[in-house]
Amino acid sequence: MKSRLVLLLALGILFISFQSQAQKWERLGSRVVNYGLDKDDIIVGAHEGAFTKLRVVVRGGALNMHKMVVHYMNGTKQEIPLRHNFSKASGSRVIDLAGNKRLIKKITFVYDTKNLARAKAKIHVFGRH
């Protein structure tokens, strides 16, 4: 009887661990960027829920990201210095947000493009609960 209980407990722990690792990335928004030095906002809002991690993906054109500022619903903000040159099909590291799960109001990107091909880049932001 004890072995069955231990087995069920172990399976329950394994299931919970698998569920937490299998969380999917949720797309929070996208923006087509302009040429030159610019900044854009992606409005997220409380309806999307609280997040612990973010990831940025760039498609379509090259982009030099200077920084990203996450504005939270409680009025605070977190500046994330990305300082990364994205190619036309690349992504950022996983970005851990300060504190526990946070409600995001908007995300501001500061970037520049020096794209000779004249293909506009598109920024996609993904969040994980």
Do 88 and 61 meet the contact criterion of CB atoms below 8 Å apart?
A: yes
Helix (H, G, I), strand (E, B) or coil at 123: strand
- How do the domains of the chain map onto residue ranges? 25-128
The pTM of this model reads: 0.74
Per residue in 73-109, pLDDT tens?
A: 989 999 988 877 888 888 888 999 988 778 899 999 9
Bridge partners (DSSP) of residue 27 are 126
Dihedrals phi, psi of 19, to nearest 5 degrees: -60, -40
Q: Structurally, what CATH architecture does the domain formed by 25-128 represent? A: Sandwich (2.60)
- Residue 57, token pair as written in the block: 């993906």
pLDDT tens by residue, 35-76: 777 888 999 977 777 899 999 999 988 888 889 999 999 899
